[in-house]
Amino acid sequence: MFKKEEQGLAKMKKSFDELTIPEDKINSAILSGFQKAKKEETPEVPSRTEKKPRRRRKPWLLPSVAAAVLAIVFLTSIRVSPAFAHYVAELPGMQKIVDLIRFDKGLMSAVENDYLQEIGITEEKNGLKVTVDSVIADETGLVIFYTMEAEKKQSNFFVEDVELTPADGTKFVLGSSSHGSHSPYQDQPRRSVSSALELFFQEKLVTKKFNLSIKVTTDDFNETFQFSFSIEKPVKVKKTFELNETVTLEGQKITVKDITVYPLRVAVHLAYDPNNSKKIFEFQDIRLVDENGESWTKISNGITASHVSDNEDILYLQSNYFKEPKELYLVINKIQAVDKDEAYVLVDTDKKEILKQPKGSKLSHVGWEDDMLMFTLDTSEEFNYMIFNGIKDAEGKDIFGDRGMSYREEENKQMVGISLPSKEEADYKNPLRLELSFFPAWIEGDVKLSVK
């Protein structure tokens, strides 16, 4: 049984190796735009230097302020527990859910502890079928597992739009959502694809009855499917640890306000000292660790952070809800950050010249690829982040760039860029200020904060 799972996961990992996923902050307002952008073919781009194997472009969307999404990491060596394996064996169709969640210890634990609820409702239109397989719910959100099936093989499966509404007259406000991403399957068209919807709310979820609308597009189909379902299992309540403790990494003060543990995820509420000299972009290494050394790291796929303000974020880790450790610690070792007065790039697009950037001069060789303003980023390791977060011209006017790009050019070189309208369309004046959202610069420390 495990051999079959590992073989299936290995194949899935191969397809995800070329999957384009935004690794920047996005919210529900741009999710449908993301899916639309995914429909566009990602052309190959020749190397800028000598003749080398052609590299595939990786387009991204620009970040907003609600949530961060990072790339999927599949660990094919992970073995599930005997109880989990038994659950998989007993429930038909469970293997596809294993493929989706085995990178998330919290979701695996929820299933192992019989917290997943089977739904099993299907709607079919014109040879295209969608099934809502199952759901995991807590006080703040839902993870809904679904399958799309076509009557013949398709090279593309996309969820263009998702709408969830209460079915009992109550109200809720959606805080953030993610409805997965499916790479084009030109090499290996397929009849079915399984994925998951993540939907989180701004306040405690009261209703247990929902109407769900999913719009699906493939090569041959464009259909909208409607479902009604209820949460029948009791929803487990959160566990909150109030800390309000301040830690310091390389002079940067960070206050851990509280940690809230839900079945779906752990929310770590952080506040940054306004007097810090650096702008914090990303917590590269943050995790919960118990007395035995078992750790729960950042969510590797899905909604990984909520931006509260310039000096406040909520980070999401994999959940240890179904564990009861005697001791629990929050460990922080590495943070992506640059000096606040260097958290942007100033560039003259006419002269193709960088006027200002963070110390180290890691950006060079400004140029154009169609409508993309591209830079060479010097980094010893692949840096799969969309580094830009907004554009203003010399007069302070906002310039709309709706796409970003990142791909590996050669060893130690990453190509990064952002789309720009023509000067005739946008009437902008140089130089342009490109705000940074990520950058390969770090602060490090050895923080171990007792949670319980």
DSSP 386-449: --EEEEE-TTS-EE----EEEEEEETTEEEEEEE---HHHH---SSEEEEES--S-EEEEEEEE
In this prediction, residue 186 carries a pLDDT of 65
Q: Hey, is 67 helix, strand or coil?
A: coil
Same-domain pairing of 222 and 303: no
Token couple for 277: 């000299």
Number of domains observed in the structure of the chain: 3
Model-level pTM? 0.77
Amino acid 129 reads K
Q: Which ranges constitute the DSSP H helices of 102-153?
A: 105-112
Identify the CA nearest to 160 among candidates 115, 224, 72, 104.
224
Same-domain pairing of 206 and 78: yes
- Domain end position, chosen among 230, 247, 269: 230
- Domain end position, chosen among 230, 251, 282: 230
Same-domain pairing of 132 and 47: yes
Same-domain pairing of 318 and 350: no
Same-domain pairing of 77 and 30: yes
Distance CA 26, CA 22 (A): 8
Same-domain pairing of 313 and 392: no
Identify the CA nearest to 23 among candidates 384, 406, 401.
384
In this prediction, residue 90 carries a pLDDT of 55
b/e per residue, 165-200, with b = 16+ CB within 10 A?
eeeeeeebebbbbbbbbbbbbeeebeeebbbbbbbb
Same-domain pairing of 155 and 225: yes
Distance CA 72, CA 194 (A): 15
Q: Which domain holds residue 391?
A: 341-436
Same-domain pairing of 44 and 163: yes
Token couple for 368: 């154009």
Same-domain pairing of 46 and 126: yes
Residues 6 or more apart whose Cβ sits within 8 Å of residue 411: none
Same-domain pairing of 307 and 371: no
- Domain end position, chosen among 209, 230, 251: 230
Same-domain pairing of 72 and 214: yes
In this prediction, residue 156 carries a pLDDT of 87
Same-domain pairing of 353 and 243: no
Provide the CATH number for the domain around residue 254.
2.60.40.1640
Identify the CA nearest to 44 among candidates 52, 31, 54.
54
Q: What is the pLDDT along the chain (452 residues), one digit of tens a residue?
A: 334 444 444 444 433 333 333 333 333 333 333 333 333 333 333 333 333 333 334 444 443 333 333 323 333 233 445 555 555 545 556 677 777 887 899 999 999 999 999 999 999 999 999 999 999 999 999 999 999 999 999 988 889 899 999 999 888 888 888 876 666 766 788 899 999 999 999 889 889 999 999 999 999 999 999 999 999 999 999 999 999 999 999 999 999 999 999 999 999 999 999 999 999 999 999 999 999 999 999 987 778 888 899 899 999 999 999 998 999 999 999 999 999 999 999 999 999 999 999 999 999 999 999 889 999 999 888 888 889 988 999 999 999 877 888 888 778 888 999 998 888 788 899 999 999 999 999 999 999 999 99
